[in-house]
Each structure stands twice: as structure tokens, then as C-alpha cells.
Structure 1
Amino acid sequence: MTNRALARRLPVALLSAAVLIALLIGWTAGAAPAKQAGAEAVQAAPGGWGNWASLGNCQYGCHSPAASSWGFTRLDVFALSRDFELIQTTRADGLWSGWKPVDGSPKLRMRSLAAVSWGPGRIDVFGVGDTATYGGPLWQVTYADGAWSDWKNLGGEWNGNIAVSSWGPNRLDVFASEKLNPEDPQLTKSWHRTYTTAGWSDWTVLADRGFVQGAVSTKPGQIDIVAVDNQVVQHRRFADNAWSSWTPLGGPELTGPVITGSGDRLDIFLQGRDENLYRRTYNGFSWGTWQPVPGAPHRAIADPAVVSWGDRIELFGHANREANVGIVHKTY
């Protein structure tokens, strides 16, 4: 073969080899095992918000999410099914497990949820029982030693939101609210109960007005809570064994607010009347202004839930305007 003929055939040979390699790579990628239904890869969001992503086609019609984490690689999200029963999905090693019912006896219907983890391998979930009466008791179910406990009745007749925080092992602080008159939403009262190694304390009155809707402990001996009173978001802190006075933060409140934090930073999230999600941050010295969370308006995301560690925030909500979407998630 002449050098000129070889020069004409060489590009064709190289192209054929490239096509063969591409086909082999494509076949190998296609042969990888499929992810479990509802699972997705974790998308890091360095320096800003990632995109909203569904946590899977929830066959249970899920809503009212709550979230907990016992470490950087572990997230547990809870929600209520169409029948108002507790369901769960877990992210470990970067993939979501898919939704499944939470075992527990007796089988209960819930109205609202709160969840917290005080350390590796431990989760406590609380829910208000859905009864035929105006209010229902507070129930607790615990995940420990690799299994779920039975439900425990903590009593009361609650018809508002609940919240829970923990500043370390063997410490839980639960907040529950009640509407004193169904005809007047301003007649409300919030209560507080603590769990330690000595067991559960009695319920004590925390506020004669407003609904406590979020709680977080970022360091031992400190609790930050957010409440809504007469459509105004309020913040209050427990430190040095005493509660501060309430600080009004305004806000375009519709659903929420919820609170998270790490170190001296606090972040409050809520859904505004324009159906956008808003965030307000405390930097350890002062509060910033309310800022919209990017990418929310087209989904009308309600019932925010949030958990964080370090500079990372995991935000969840209910996409209540989109069929078969259910709970959605984004990372900061």
C-alpha cells in the first residue's frame, strides 16, 4: 500500500475505532444496576442552592414532612401518607431508599409531625394523633438499636403544630400548641415538656399566645424556637437556664415557620402568601432580612422542613400543586 493510500484510510480506521469504543462505553454504562425507585444521587451545592428534586413518586400521597440527621451522610425524612400514617425515606451513602411505612404498634393516624436525632443510630418522631375529637394526644416512636419501638402516648389534647429539639444524648424538648377556641384562632397556648435520664417532665405552659412551630438546639443548654402569633413570626431563646422574651421578626407567613442552625447561625424558613419560600438568617449578632429561596414559586411548596450541619442546609417541602410529586428536597 502506498503512503498516499494509507493516508486516505487512516482517518476512517481511527473513526471506526472511536465509534467502537463509544459503543462499548455506552453498553457498559447501560449495564449498571438501576437505582431503587425514588432514589437519586446527592447533588452538592457549593456556595448556593441546588435544584429542587422529588424524593420519588410517593405511592402513599405523602405530605407534612419532618426531617432528622445523625451525621453528614445520613438523612431521614418522614411524612404522612394519604391515610395519615407515618412513612419514611432514608438517604445513606448518597442514595434515597424510597418510601416505606414505619413499623410501630398500634397503627396510628397522625395530623402533624416532628423529628430529631440526638446521636448516631437514634431517631425520635412525634405526632399528634388524628382523633374524632377537636384535639388528639401526642405520640412518640423511637428508632434505636436498629429497630422501631412501639408508639408511646405522651398525653394532652393538641390541635396545633408540634416541634422538638435535642442538644445531646438523653435530652429531648418537645413543644405542642392548642387552640382554645375553634372560632377564634388567636386564642392559643403553647406547652413544653422535657425528657432527661430521669424520664419525662410534666407539661408546663410556655406561652399564653401563639403556636410554636419550630425548635433547634445548636449547643448544650440552648434552645431556639419560632412561633406565630397574630400572623407575626416570633423568636425566643432558652439559655443560662432561662427563657428570653419574644423577638418579633415579621415575615410573610403562610405555612411554617421552621428553624435550623449550626454554631451561632440560625436559619428560619416559611412559605409566604405569594407561595414562595422565604429564609431569614441570624449570624450570631443580628438578623438579616427575609429573602426568597430560589426556584420555589412555580411549585407552590408548602409545609417546609429543614435540618443542617456546618454550612450545609437540607430543605424539604410538599409540592402541593403538582400531582405525583409529593415531597421535594434541595441542598444549600
Structure 2
Amino acid sequence: MGGRWTWQGTWSDWKSLGGIIQGGLAAVYVNGEYHVFGISPSGQLSQNTWRNGSWLGWESLGGTVAGTPAVTYHDGQYDVFARSPRGVVYQKTWRGTWSDWKSIGGIVDGGLGAVHANGEHHVFGISPSGQLSQNTWRNGSWLGWESLGGTVAGTPAVTYHDGQYDVFARSPGGTVYQKTWQGTWSDWKHIGGTLG
């Protein structure tokens, strides 16, 4: 069952969005609307949208996907990234209507993180050997997956600001680490905590 927790000076109680979702969720807030994405029990990408004060309900966007999806928004376009049960990463794009799924290659485990900045998509996942991997879309094409090292698990999270990318991921033991790009990638830095 999906739910949300809202902070406006203090945290609200949980409120149900309905639906049955497996794995993690991805969300984006644009133009006064929330768009939340997850994987249904049948393995299809599902979306729930909050518009004009209410949730519209879960709708299937198709596919056979697994793990935690990632979503980005820029210039009127939504891009959702998800992996197949075998680990191949796919992209689905909305510009008025949803595109078909398109493969961007690779084999990853777990969920995905993604960000759009400076006209580029950056998608992060974890390789079968446990290393953080990145695929970048630049000048109209995907550059291919490259290893950024480490031994990580689960779903990476990524942010961008002022020319800097930060990726957060946990070790198989649950310790949280950060890796930063400012022209080149830093080493992994331990930021504490233990997460399951």
C-alpha cells in the first residue's frame, strides 16, 4: 500500500494513497502536481498523480519491470527508468503521451537513481558485482555504462546542484556512503548510519 508523509514545519501522520506496490517508489513534484511511480504485483510500472487537491488513483503504464524505478523531469518531459527482471535498464518518456519502453542497456541489480541536469540524463544502478554504475545521455545518445567502484547494494540516490553531483548508497552491511562529482569523482566517504 502506498502512503505519504508530509513535512510543513512538523511531520504529518501517514496518509494512504491506496494501491498495492512492490519494492520502492520514485516521485517528482512539478507544476503543483505529485507524480508517484512504483511496480505493481504483476510487474507493471504504475503511476498515481495528485492534482487539484486529490489523488487520481493508480494507473498501469505497462512493461515487465522490477526493483525501484527512477524519475526525472525537465522542460515538460518526464522520464522514468526501470530495469527488467533480468536487469536490463529501460526508459519510458512522457511528452503529452507516454512512449514505448526503450532499452538503455546494462545489467543492474536493485533499484535505480536518476537526475537530469545541463541537458543530460545521468542514471545510476548497481552492477551484478556490486559496484556503482552510471550511464549518461549526452548529445542525443547514451554513452554506455561505466563503473564508479565501491561495493554497494540496494537503490542509489542522486542529487545535483551548482555543478555538483552527489550519489548516496549503502554497503551490503547497511553503512551509508557518499560519492561526489565536481569535474572528477571523489572517493567514497562514510556518512554514518546503518540501514537495512
Q: Normalised by the shorter chain, which TM-score bucket?
A: 0.7 to 0.9
Q: Give the distance between the partners of 1:76 and 1:52, measured in 2 at CA.
A: 17
Q: Which structure 2 residues correspond to residues 270-309 of structure 1 after superposition, within 5 A?
A: none
Q: Give the distance between the partners of 2:21 and 2:5, measured in 1 at CA.
A: 23
Q: What is the aligned counterpart of 2:163 among 197, 209, 221?
A: 221
With a CA cutoff of 8 Å and minimum separation of 6, indicate the structure with the bigger relative contact order.
1
RMSD: 2.1
1:216 is displaced (CA, Å) by 1.5
How many residues were matched structurally?
Answer: 190
Residue 131 of structure 2 is matched in structure 1 by 189
Residue 13 of structure 2 is matched in structure 1 by 51
Does 2:97 correspond to 1:154?
A: no
Q: Give the distance between the partners of 1:43 and 1:200, measured in 2 at CA.
A: 35
* Contact 1:68-1:123 within 8 A present in 2 as well: no
User: Which is richer in strand?
Assistant: 2
Runs (4+) off by over 2 Å: 42-46, 113-121
Q: Output the TM-score relative to the length of structure 1.
A: 0.53
Residue 26 of structure 2 is matched in structure 1 by 66
Q: Give the distance between the partners of 2:77 and 2:122, measured in 1 at CA.
A: 15
Distance 1:117 1:159, change over 3 A: closer
Q: Output the TM-score relative to the length of structure 2.
A: 0.87
Q: Give the distance between the partners of 1:203 and 1:175, measured in 2 at CA.
A: 9
- AA in 1 matched with 2:44: E
Q: Which structure 2 residues correspond to residues 1-332 of structure 1 after superposition, within 5 A?
A: 45-56=7-18, 58=19, 61-64=20-23, 65-71=25-31, 73-102=32-61, 107-130=62-85, 135-144=86-95, 146-168=96-118, 170-180=119-129, 188-211=130-153, 213-217=156-160, 219-231=161-173, 232-239=175-182, 241-254=183-196
What residue ranges of structure 2 are gaps of 5+ in the alignment?
Answer: none
Highest Rg: 1 or 2?
1
* Contact 2:28-2:73 within 8 A present in 1 as well: no
* Contact 1:190-1:205 within 8 A present in 2 as well: yes
1:167 is displaced (CA, Å) by 2.3
1:63 is displaced (CA, Å) by 2.6
Aligned residues with identical type, % of pairs: 27
Distance 1:67 1:44, change over 3 A: closer
* Contact 2:70-2:114 within 8 A present in 1 as well: yes
User: Which is richer in helix?
Assistant: 1
1:44 is displaced (CA, Å) by 7.1
- AA in 1 matched with 2:97: A
Q: Deviations over 1:182-212 (max 9, x none)?
A: xxxxxx2221111123321121111142236
